[in-house]
Amino acid sequence: MEAYAVIETGGKQYRVEKDTVLDVELLGVEEGDTVEFDQVLATSDGSELTIGAPIVENAKVTATVVTNFRDKKIYAFKKKRRKGYRNKRGHRQGLTKLKIESISV
C-alpha cells in the first residue's frame, strides 16, 4: 500500500497521498506557493497506521498551490405556494486546487 495521511482544512477531512490533486476551501495563498498542513489526524506508511489524539505529533503534509478558482454556481430557491413568495439566491464557493508534494512523520 501507498503511504497516506488524513489532514483537516476548512472544517473538512481529506485522505491524501503523494502527488494527489485535490480541491479545498479557499486558503488565500498565491499560485505556486507552498502550504504546510500540521493538522494531521492520521498517517500510514503502508503497513502501520498512526492515529492522533487529536493530531499526530511532528507530522506535516506539504502541498503546492496549483490554482485558486470558483466552483460551479449553486442555487437556493424558496417558495411558499399561493402566497406569491419566491426567493432565489446563488452562491459560488472559492476553492484552492492543491498538489500534495510530501508527507513527513
pLDDT band for position 2 (50/70/90)?
confident
Report pLDDT for 59: 94
Identify the domain containing residue 60 by its residue range. Answer: 4-104
Q: Dump pLDDT digits (tens) for 41-60.
A: 999 988 899 999 999 999 99
Q: Report the number of distinct structural domains present in the chain.
A: 1
Q: Closest by alpha carbon to 64, among 102, 25, 34, 27?
A: 34
Q: Dump pLDDT digits (tens) for 10-19.
A: 999 999 999 9
Residues 37-48 as b or e (16 or more Cβ within 10 Å = b):
bebbbbbbeeee
CA angle 61/64/68 to nearest 5° reads: 125
Q: Please state the pTM of the whole predicted model.
A: 0.85
